[in-house]
Structure 1
């Protein structure tokens, strides 16, 4: 279970504390077990800061605390505080990255939903980048046309192999599993079962996708359809 520690402190020397944290990051390289660190400043009190440190588990947090470097840095941090910091230990009971969930919902719907519904997942100013197209596809109508073409050529589903998120961006590594049932790039239907691996970088706004960038093994797909020789 993921574990989070909140460190609540007041200091008028945040720049010094920031440099101290940089030193801790450098000194614990290859040793620390913390996976994510966020420091927030109270908008109503410029001397009030809360640090949020994430660990894979409580035991890993204790390993991190036992590092000699952590102990030394902690003593220096206390000296920079206007009053002793307070700690809150939390076992994470729900961790929902909403853009990751939206990306997963999009890929699970692809191949199943009708083209008319693709706009439910996209912003009005959506832009689609695909290395096989001469220029980006603009807008929901353009993406609807592209999706209808793929859906007419294949019965397909996406399997999500991995996902990573940062800020408003999500990267999904996927495998497409399909049957060739219609014309594709001038190739008549073969009935061939095919698969293709790829990755999609997505940017989100207000819970919807505003930009997609696709990277996939198009040559491998054409080889399975008998167009490219081995």
Structure 2
């Protein structure tokens, strides 16, 4: 089977599932130790699973060069995942992370 493909990964991101795990474990979790993911809806049809969720936390660590601000953040996310043999095969997503970065960078 072909390797997992994240169609929404930013340019230069680690490929495959390692990139998604890296984002959470090395990027978001250290910057937002109180990180919480709330799933609002999840719909499956065929081999596709669509999830609408919210990621919240307080920035107490550095994130992409942005020093800790103590600000509470909310990232809205919609993901579509293709599942094959019980594993993530493809991912597409939209989120408000760029807007959150802009807010954190403002003094």
Scaled by the length of structure 1, the TM-score of the pair is 0.40
User: Higher RCO, 1 or 2 (CA under 8 Å, sep at least 6)?
Assistant: 2
- Counterpart in 2 of 1:154? 32
Q: After TM superposition, give the deviation of residue 191 of structure 1 in Å.
A: 1.6
Is structure 2 residue 81 aligned with structure 1 residue 202? Answer: yes
CA RMSD of aligned residues (A): 2.5
What is the rounded CA distance, in whole Å, between the counterparts of 1:136 and 1:205 in structure 2?
A: 23
Q: After TM superposition, give the deviation of residue 141 of structure 1 in Å.
A: 3.1
Count matched residues: 105
More strand by share: 2
Structure 1 residues 164 and 136, CA gap change in structure 2 (3 angstroms):
farther
SS of 2:5's equivalent? strand
Matches for 1:1-230 after TM superposition, within 5 Å: 125-130=3-8, 133-134=10-11, 137-148=14-25, 149-155=27-33, 156-227=35-106
Question: For the Cα contact (< 8 Å) 2:37–2:55, is it kept in 1?
Answer: yes
What is the rounded CA distance, in whole Å, between the counterparts of 2:6 and 2:41 in structure 1?
A: 21
Unaligned stretches of 5+ residues in structure 2: none
Scaled by the length of structure 2, the TM-score of the pair is 0.79
More helix by share: 1
Unaligned stretches of 5+ residues in structure 1: 1-122
Question: For the Cα contact (< 8 Å) 1:129–1:137, is it kept in 2?
Answer: no
